[in-house]
């Protein structure tokens, strides 16, 4: 198994134009960070989705959304 010092020594000889690629690879090796990044990108893909709605339309959307959630998840189910 290589030691951290041996790996760092090898990194010093890496061409500067490959550092970003190396960073992305090392970053991808950490599953938690990769998952966080994927989740963040999915969430941010919705940023501004409602920006073209008027305030009135947005409030109506919120009201209907809440009503739908209550109908779907506000039921008592016996198992």
pLDDT for the residue 30: 74
pTM, to two decimals:
0.39
The count of domains in the chain is 1
Instruction: Quickly count: other Cβ atoms within 10 Å of residue 37's Cβ.
Output: 13
Q: Is residue 79 part of a domain?
A: no
**Cβ neighbours of residue 58 closer than 8 Å, sequence gap 6 or more:** 50
Share of the chain above pLDDT 70, in %: 89
pLDDT for the residue 3: 86
pLDDT for the residue 53: 85
pLDDT for the residue 35: 64
Q: How far apart are CA 19 and CA 26, in angstroms?
A: 10
Q: Is residue 26 part of a domain?
A: yes
Sign of the Cα torsion 14, 17, 22, 25 reads negative
Quote the domain boundaries for residue 25: 4-73
Q: Is residue 78 part of a domain?
A: no
pLDDT tens, position by position, 11-32:
888 888 988 888 888 877 777 7
Q: What tokens were used for 68?
A: 């739908």
Terminal C-alpha separation, the chain: 54
Q: Is residue 55 part of a domain?
A: yes
* Residue 33 pLDDT > 90: no
């Amino acid at each position: 198994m290589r030691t951290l010092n041996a790996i760092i020594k090898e990194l010093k000889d890496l061409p500067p134009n490959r550092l970003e690629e190396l960073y992305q690879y090392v970053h991808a090796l950490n599953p938690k960070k990769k998952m966080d990044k994927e989740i963040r990108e999915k969430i941010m893909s919705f940023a501004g989705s409602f920006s073209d709605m008027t305030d009135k339309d947005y409030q109506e959307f919120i009201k209907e959304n809440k009503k739908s959630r209550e109908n779907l998840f506000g039921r008592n189910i016996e198992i």
